[in-house]
Amino acid sequence: MWGWSGTRCTGLMQIQIKVEDGILTDVKFKTFGCGAAIATSSMVTDLAIGKTIEGALKITRNDVAENLGGLSPVKMPCTRRLKII
């Protein structure tokens, strides 16, 4: 599960994965938070499909923000606080 915490941005993302032969073949999410948190969650799932678990764990907040085309400074906490919990 990934989650966010902090004074300016709080939210929760739950992620479910399907692994076949060591590769993530399906990734689903449930997010409670703002639109940027939902977009960030969706992008994480898109980036994770086709990777190994180890590869998916290497996805960075910069990868997510870059693939979203950038986020405003106000919404960057949705990726800066992205961590595995």
Catalytic residues: 9, 78
Q: Is 17 helix (H, G, I), strand (E, B) or coil?
A: strand
Helices (H), 1-85: 35-48, 53-57, 61-67, 77-80
